[in-house]
Chains A and B, each alone.
Chain A
Amino acid sequence: DTAVSQTPKYLVTQMGNDKSIKCEQNLGHDTMYWYKQDSKKFLKIMFSYNNKELIINETVPNRFSPKSPDKAHLNLHINSLELGDSAVYFCASSQEGRRSYNEQFFGPGTRLTVL
């Protein structure tokens, strides 16, 4: 009964490669997010989608392209990977308009290592 799931959990790849991370939520939420956690543990929003529409793009390089095929899925594709992309990427989801104002729930994270 996993709420927010991500695949893969670990991703090790070479510089210059293209990779994707998938996220799915079964909470019935209408908003999904990608966050990046750097080596100092700092968490920062990258993207937010509400009802499959991009709401936030937080000055992320255009090598990063999120795609939301439906409200339950938000995938992250990264082109031409660079060393600085190494981080843990978290997917999250929330529901607008409920009593808990956009309370966000996070997936387990994907640790990306670029060699």
Chain B
Amino acid sequence: GIQVEQSPPDLILQEGANSTLRCNFSDSVNNLQWFHQNPWGQLINLFYIPSGTKQNGRLSATTVATERYSLLYISSSQTTDSGVYFCAVLNSGGSNYKLTFGKGTLLTVNP
């Protein structure tokens, strides 16, 4: 099946810093989503971005489908950004109903 690798596995920032999280995937995809799992365990949809670039406030994401990677940018980080960021994909050659998740990036933003 498709492989999804996220980097870095852990990231510690001071409040106000910027960061880039990366997601590499091993095959073509129909769907790519970024999620934030907050410290209370909720999975929050950040972006649906199988290709192109999107922005939402301090967050933006870019997916280059032909090169099989996606990037999540967090600018001016805040303590509330802490948590685990997951990338998940739907493989074009696989089931339309099975999101495959990466192992996540654990982000800690210190005040």
Contacts and interface: CB of A to CB of B under 8 A. Distances in A.
Given A43-B101, A101-B90, A103-B33, A111 B96 contact: no
B62 interface: no
Contacts of A88: 41
B60 interface: no
B80 interface: no
B42 interface: yes
Interface string B15-33: 0000000000000001101
B37 A101 contact: no
Interface residues of B, number: 24
Given A101-B90, A103-B31, A45 B45 contact: no
Contacts of B100: 45
B98 A58 contact: yes
B43 A102 contact: no
A90 B35 CA distance: 13
Contacts of A108: 41-42
A109 interface: yes
A55 B95 contact: yes
Contacts of B90: 101-102
Contacts of A58: 98
B43 A109 contact: yes
10 A-B pairs with the lowest CB-CB distances in the bound complex, closest first: A48-B97, A106-B43, A43-B101, A103-B48, A101-B31, A100-B48, A45-B98, A101-B30, A55-B97, A109-B41
22 contacts: A40-B103, A41-B84, A42-B101, A43-B101, A44-B101, A48-B95, A48-B97, A50-B97, A88-B41, A96-B96, A101-B30, A101-B50, A101-B90, A101-B96, A102-B96, A103-B45, A104-B33, A106-B45, A108-B42, A109-B41, A109-B43, A111-B41
